[in-house]
């Protein structure tokens, strides 16, 4: 009986720490409420690891939880622009829009110099870097996170600007997803250890029911839930 009680206590402590760490983590960067995603749709991006980039984005959004996201798909022109309201890290519609991308043509950052794109708190740029980068580097004065999953990536001018605007350059071929996220201050384990769906008191006053989804560093553990 004592062993059972001890195990229950340990489990309760474990779950409470997961909940606390997730709450602290989601509030770790309250400044980011408006996010711009520049999504390169040039032909060279057709060979990228889309699943890996979407996983990166999934963790990023879970860390922020509530966001207004301005999505800009571009090559030599802006092909699509749409705003998404993300609540409780549910970005299903945004993900669908990204997975439906057609990749074609060359790329230029010139089209991203529009003043309307400079009003966000942070910027994610998914590209291989093989463009005229000076325009973007000079236009965006706030933190850029440039992400690539292609084997051939060139950050060039943008990387030279990193000290000026606190930008980060992530090559998902050169580092693990966990390392990449850690480089921008996101703790994967704290962010996705447990996504709590519901907490409620049971009939017994000493009993609290917690339900949710369990994650690993690779994403949702299918068929595993906390009930």
CATH of 34-182, one of 3.40.50.1580, 3.40.50.410, 3.40.50.970, 3.40.630.30: 3.40.50.410
This model's pTM is above 0.85: no
When comparing pLDDT for 112 and 199, which is higher? Answer: 112
By three-state DSSP, how is residue 49 classified?
Answer: coil
What is d(CA 10, CA 4) in angstroms, rounded to the nearest whole number? Answer: 10
Other CB atoms within a 10 A radius of the CB of residue 38 amount to 23
What is d(CA 181, CA 170) in angstroms, rounded to the nearest whole number? Answer: 9
Burial (Cβ within 10 Å: 0-12, 13-18, ≥19) of residue 214: middle
Interaxial angle between packed helices 92-99 and 50-64, expressed in degrees from 0 to 180 and rounded to the nearest 10: 160
Mean pLDDT score across all residues of the chain:
75
CA terminus-to-terminus distance, the chain: 22
Residues forming beta bridges with residue 194, ordered by sequence position: 214
> Pairing state of beta strands 194-201 and 208-216?
antiparallel
Return residue ranges of the chain for CATH 3.40.50.410.
34-182
Residue 121 makes CB contacts below 8 A (sequence gap 6+) with 31, 32, 33, 34, 35, 142
Give tens-digit pLDDT for 118-159: 788 899 999 887 555 555 656 677 778 889 898 876 655 555
Give tens-digit pLDDT for 201-217: 556 555 555 556 555 54
Give tens-digit pLDDT for 41-78: 999 899 999 999 999 999 999 999 999 999 999 998 99
What is d(CA 144, CA 141) in angstroms, rounded to the nearest whole number? Answer: 8
């Amino acid at each position: 009986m004592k062993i059972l009680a001890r195990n229950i206590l340990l489990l309760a402590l474990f779950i409470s720490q997961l909940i606390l760490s997730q709450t602290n983590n989601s509030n770790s960067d309250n400044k980011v409420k408006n996010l711009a995603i520049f999504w390169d749709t040039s032909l060279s991006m057709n060979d990228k690891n889309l699943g890996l980039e979407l996983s990166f984005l999934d963790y990023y959004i879970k860390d922020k939880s509530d966001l207004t996201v301005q999505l800009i798909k571009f090559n030599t022109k802006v092909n699509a622009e749409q705003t998404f309201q993300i609540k409780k890290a549910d970005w299903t519609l945004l993900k669908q829009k990204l997975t439906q991308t057609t990749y074609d043509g060359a790329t230029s950052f010139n089209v991203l110099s529009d003043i309307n794109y400079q009003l966000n708190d942070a910027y994610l740029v998914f590209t291989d870097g093989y463009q005229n980068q000076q325009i973007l580097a000079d236009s965006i004065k706030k933190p850029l996170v440039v992400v690539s999953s292609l084997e051939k990536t060139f950050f060039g001018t943008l990387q030279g600007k990193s000290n000026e605007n606190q930008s980060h350059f992530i090559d998902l071929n050169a580092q693990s997803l966990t390392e990449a996220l850690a480089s921008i201050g996101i703790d994967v384990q704290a962010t996705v250890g447990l996504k709590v769906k519901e907490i409620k008191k049971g009939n017994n006053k000493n009993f609290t029911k917690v339900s949710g989804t369990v994650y690993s560093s690779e994403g949702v553990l299918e068929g595993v839930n906390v009930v």
